[in-house]
Amino acid sequence: MGEYLLVLAVGAICLVLYMVRLNWVLSHTPQEVVDRAGEPLTRDHVRDVFERVRREGIDWEGKLPRRKDRRYIVVGGSEEDFSHGAASKVAFIQIDITNEAEILKAYEAPWPDAVASLPLTVFHTAGVIRPFERYEMFHERTSRVNVTGTAHSLLAAKKVGAGIFIYTFSLNAALKQVKWLFAPWGRTQQPRGFIQDLDDRDFFEPLRPPHTFLTNYAQSKAESERLVCDADERDARPGMPVLRTGAIRPGNAVYGHRNESINWVHVENASLAHLLHGDALLGENAAKVAGRPFTVTDRGKPVRFGDIHLLLDTVSTTGPRMSYPPPVLMLVLSYLVEWYGLLVNAVPFLDRFLSEPGELIRWVQSGGYATRLNYFVE
């Protein structure tokens, strides 16, 4: 009996020491990242830039492409987005894009006579953002909108004679699974996938197997991105209506969720990228930019979470407070929340008594946890 207790005690000590080591690794930025990222922001620099922008603003008009005589349909957003300001002048039609008949009816809605004959550009930004579910049993929750809904939108665009169709995603498709545990005696003392370089090279390779995607969200959006890009009609016969397609990937693991307060690419740059891509698809080099995605980032050196926290602390009038719980504790919690959600759905009678994790806690799952690591966007 004493031997068993001794073994258990030694095992418990080893486990605690390993968790302490893992917590230290997750709490620190790897030296490779520090070397590549350069110096962090300083409080003086933040103040200088903030005051200059507040005083002079940012000139976006000089960066816009020449205005086109075209009609535009934006698939996505909510009625609240179009309830005030200049956007309130835009017609809004609420539909379910998983319903093929509904979305076709919306595409066929009449336009004012003065513009009804102009060529049509479509920006498809709609998507269900659930970047925390990894298992096949939850796949339909995202694929119904992200894949089926996109297919319906694309088909409707073709039927009404659209000439440009641009899809919005993020860099989630490029993310790889993270292996959190590493051998204490191993050569690399950090999780595999802890540092990743993200770009659009994955698009030019065969679609990865489902289990290699970080989440169902990433898989569904990657599938729909290829669906759109494969629909490019670069080989259409002369004289026939041609649909040119493409995709924009804002340099964020998740982009566009209403509760996301930290983004790694400014929304104006992401919006500008759509207009520039549409402009390029109408140019003489359209064949070089059609049927593929483009990654969009801000200029400048990589930004750290610490830079964002410093910026908020420097310019905020409310004085935000930052909490830094032990990362290994959050990692363990993420798996517990994930397993709880699996259990509720896997055991039929449990859903009568238990509900899935709510709006905030469901984001604390391993899939969502892994979107906030050391990523270099190229």
Express each pLDDT in 96-105 by its tens digit: 999 999 999 9
pLDDT of 311 > 80? The answer is: yes
- Separation of first and last alpha carbons in the chain: 58
Provide mean pLDDT across the span 279-299.
91
Position 324 scores a pLDDT of: 86
User: Counting every residue, how long is the chain?
Assistant: 378
Pick the CATH number of 43-315 from 3.40.630.40, 3.40.50.720, 3.40.250.10, 3.30.200.20: 3.40.50.720
For residue 237, give the DSSP letter.
P
Position 153 scores a pLDDT of: 96
- Mean per-residue pLDDT over the chain, rounded: 87
Determine the angle formed by the axes of helices 305-315 and 43-56, rounding to 10 degrees: 60
What lies within 8 Å, CB to CB, of 230 at 6+ separation is 291
pLDDT tens digit string along 44-70?
999 999 999 999 888 888 888 888 899
Query: Domain coordinates of the chain in residue numbers?
Result: 43-315
CA triplet 146, 147, 150: central angle to 5 degrees?
80
Position 254 scores a pLDDT of: 66
Position 193 scores a pLDDT of: 85
pLDDT tens digit string along 12-42?
888 889 999 999 999 888 888 888 888 888 9
The CA distance from 209 to 36, in Å, is 31
Within 13 Å and on the Cβ side, how many CA atoms surround 366?
18
Provide mean pLDDT across the span 273-297.
92
The pair of structure tokens assigned to 336 is: 């517990």
The pair of structure tokens assigned to 243 is: 């649909």
Q: Contact at 8 Å (CB) between 172 and 375?
A: no
Task: Band the pLDDT of 107: cuts 50, 70, 90.
Answer: very high
> What's the whole-model pTM score?
0.90
Provide mean pLDDT across the span 126-144.
89
The CA distance from 60 to 154, in Å, is 30
Percent of the chain clearing pLDDT 70 (strictly above): 95
Provide mean pLDDT across the span 213-241.
85
For residue 100, give the DSSP letter.
H
